[in-house]
Structure 1
Amino acid sequence: MATITNFENLEIWKKSRELCQKIFISLIQNPNCSQNIKNQIDRSSASVMDNIAEGFEREGNREFINFLSMSKGSCGEVRSQLVRAFDRNFINVNEFNDLKNDLTDLSKMISGFMKYLKSIDHNGNKFQRP
């Protein structure tokens, strides 16, 4: 089993970073989008990647899984905000579907990673003996 030493090497973190950038381009830079939606979706999409990073840095699988759960919840929050942005014509159907599909894929990846962490014997660096 390869050891990941930095959260920036995690595929789920890389994917969440890409999604933040796509949301920035589609909505936050969009002058027609309401400031309220911009602020909310910026915070919740950032929460996805930030919770992955924070959980990883805790160095314990149980805490990591908890933060991944919060990250997964933020994926749902972003999807809900995308629906609102679409309903208000701030993004077109192609942008909406592309972002929604990416978020659904990321949510599945996070679930799979949580399942993996629950299945391994190693509890994280926090619990290694010196």
Structure 2
Amino acid sequence: MTPAKTYQDLRVWQSAHAFVIEVYACTRSFPKDELFGLTAQLRRSAVSVPSNIVEGFGRWSDKDKVKFYNIAEASLAEADYQLFLAQELNYSDTATARNTALDTKKLLAAFIKSIRP
């Protein structure tokens, strides 16, 4: 496999980016009174996933890389719960975004495993 030249070459980043796009799409239908509540929090946690992948990609040491990839994992878990909550509150159908979150979680776990000895 050819090493990634940019973060955009990473499959895990591509999946995380697609996840953010899906989160923004599904939060458009959230109630307006959630704009500064669940909508904002979910969007922030979703954006944190690819952002931390990018930051990790830019680090030199494997230890630093894994640190940021672990933060991305935690943000993904947070966003997944928030999507679950939105579904329970009948704000939106979050199934597509949650499926992408699961795919991203698997890719991220494998990516981290490939870096750790």
Q: TM-score, normalised by structure 1?
A: 0.82
Q: How many residues align?
A: 115
Identity %: 23
> CA offset at residue 45 of structure 1?
0.2
Q: AA paired with 1:32?
A: P
In the TM superposition, structure 1's runs of 4+ consecutive aligned residues that sit over 3 Å from their partners are none
Q: 1:11 is matched with which residue?
A: 11
Q: 2:31 is matched with which residue?
A: 32
Q: 1:64 is matched with which residue?
A: 65
Gaps of 5+ in 1: 120-130
Q: 1:1-130 maps to which residues of 2 (within 5 A)? A: 1-27=1-27, 29-32=28-31, 34-35=34-35, 36-92=37-93, 96-119=94-117
Greater relative contact order structure (CA < 8 Å, 6+ sep): 2
Please tell me the root mean square deviation across aligned C-alpha atoms, in Å.
1.4
Distance 1:31 1:13 in 2: 26
Q: TM-score, normalised by structure 2?
A: 0.91
Query: Between Structure 1 and Structure 2, whose CA radius of gyration is higher?
Result: 1
